[in-house]
A and B are shown apart, each in its own frame.
Chain A
Amino acid sequence: MSSHREAPQISKDPVADSTDLYAFVSPDQPDTVTLIANYVPLQAPDGGPNFYEFGDDVLYAINIDNDGDGDADISFQFQFTSRITDPDTFLYNTGPITSLTSPSWNRRQTYSVTRVDERGSHVLGTGIPCPPCNIGPLSTPDFPALVSEAITTVAPGTKVLAGQRAEGFYVDLGAVFDLGILRPFEQDHTTFGLAGTGLGTMAKGVNSTDGVNVHSIAIQVPIDQLTADGRTATSVTDPTAVLGVWTTASRQKARIFGNWPGENYNSGPYAQVSRLGNPLVNEVLIPMAAKDYWNSLPPAADQEFASHVAHPELAGLLNVLYPGVFPHLASYVSSGAPRADLLAILLTGIPAGIVPGFQNYTGPRQADMLRLNVAIPPTTTGASNLGLVGGDPAGFPNGRRVFDDVVTIELRAIAGATLPLVDPGYTPDAAAGAISMGLTSGPTDLTAMGTENYLSEFPYLGTPHSGFAVPAAS
């Protein structure tokens, strides 16, 4: 998936496992940027009585590079504290949770927000409450009201929310990880000569994340508090207009289990165990043996992995899995030429002059970051879930909005649809522009299966699915 369970070690540590990262100019507050980092993947909404929460022993961060060197210039750090109010009950709550101070809510979490920049470390807020998980009509009868109560302004123009949200990412995971099946094109799959697979007819996609929740850390910050020169660029070509964004999770290096009743002891400096910038980079481009190593590094170190972007394994596999469907791509892969389009999109940003009226170039340093040009206004009508390749420059890979169909965009890019940006003589295969997960009806469909509940305001990701309404078995 985007980055859910993408590496062998982090897949065993869900509370520290970053799943998706979003960065976009807020459509309803265009002088601000909204940054959302998701963790704790694939939550069954009915997973009680110990419903999901952040890790008290994890240091979460959303990092911003505003000078193109792949290192953080600003980091918003989040640390959580859990508390049990009634030690004598096994229940998460003993009655309806009608407010964040409800005495019937037994397991609560609060957090601190700290901004770290060149001027030092500044605590923006402490003891900020998370809302509970969305349990059901009796336990959380007015969940949106709890979220409204939890949204906290920590500085002028800066607000935060940390807690459960509906998963907004969509992908047909069951198909794509079964040797690259794309249900809308399964009739073209090689099927390895197997008979009786049930494949062979065009089918709609299935959203694997339909009905699951995730935990989001969302912060909305004035643009002029993120840029290198402290102003809001208005020209798309202004180099200071582009921000690089990524999220990290870190754990202390040493841990002792079982020496204190019911808790562990952590010690030492924090070591990074999870990282996420562009969707699917670690998931799809980095070899499995290197994924956890990649997670431990800063974006500034990504030149080491550039060959995996320049020569993506998946580009070669497409022609094997779909024989004859991608002949132009197959020739290009055989030539050994590096994929300069992917290197630009994912590791440096797209320089000016490639796409008319657009750039999100941060310089030659190769670093996996979401690159957001804040001078490009949000698209409030006619947005395309295909972002820039759909003619909508406010979307991925210009940052990432919650509804962007990043799987389709990146599949098409890897299949060669974006190669003409750097090689005008290359003609993409017809299939490269048609690849789809089959989860939307088209580029203007912003309501993929299970994601119909995006919000038009902060925190933009929808109200989490209630455990009562969406049991895991369904």
Chain B
Amino acid sequence: MSEFSRRIFLKRGTAAVALAGAASAIPALPALIGVADTQAPADVGAAESAAEDTGPIDSVGGPIIAHVRDLTSGEIGLFTGTDEITVHDPQLAASILRALR
């Protein structure tokens, strides 16, 4: 994990974000959970919009782990509690990659 993402991780305290091959924590993640919970397709715009409606990260009830499976297709697995959801968001995946550099 880069120093950049480590700082974000520590700041968030309860959010764990892991990637296969690449990992990061990003501001849009809690919003993305809100989107994914409703089974909506994921794109950055939709995620940012949902962020305004879903409240703080604590509302998901615990840490979140993200697994970017494919940077090109933007397939990301999100884990919280005993749930797993998969979103497809190339722009989000690209944001995560940028955060790692």
Contact = CB atoms under 8 A, between A and B. Distances in A.
Interface stretch (A6-14, A27-35, A267-275, A396-404): A267-275
Interface string B33-75: 0000000000000000000000000000011110100000000
13 contacts: A254-B65, A256-B18, A265-B16, A267-B16, A267-B63, A267-B65, A267-B79, A267-B80, A267-B81, A268-B65, A268-B83, A269-B82, A269-B83
Contacts, number: 38
A254 B82 contact: no
A259 B79 contact: no
Interface string B74-100: 000101111110000000000000000
A270 B16 contact: no
Given A265-B63, A267-B79, A268-B80, 6 more contacts: A253-B84, A259-B9, A265-B16, A267-B62, A268-B77, A268-B81
Contacts of A253: 79, 84
Interface of A: 252-254, 256, 259, 265, 267-270
Q: How large is the interface on B (under 10, 10 to 19, 20 to 34, 35 or more residues)?
A: 10 to 19
Contacts of A270: 82
A252 B9 CA distance: 21
The 9 closest A-B pairs by CB, nearest first: A268-B79, A267-B79, A254-B79, A254-B65, A256-B16, A268-B84, A267-B65, A269-B84, A269-B82
Contacts of A254: 18, 65, 67, 79
A270 B84 CA distance: 10
A253 to B, nearest CB: 6
Contacts of B83: 268-269
Contacts of B18: 254, 256
A345 B84 CA distance: 38
B75 to A, nearest CB: 15
A252 B80 CA distance: 10
B1 to A, nearest CB: 10
B82 A252 contact: yes
Contacts of B16: 256, 259, 265, 267
A398 B84 CA distance: 39
Nearest to A259: B16
Nearest to B17: A256
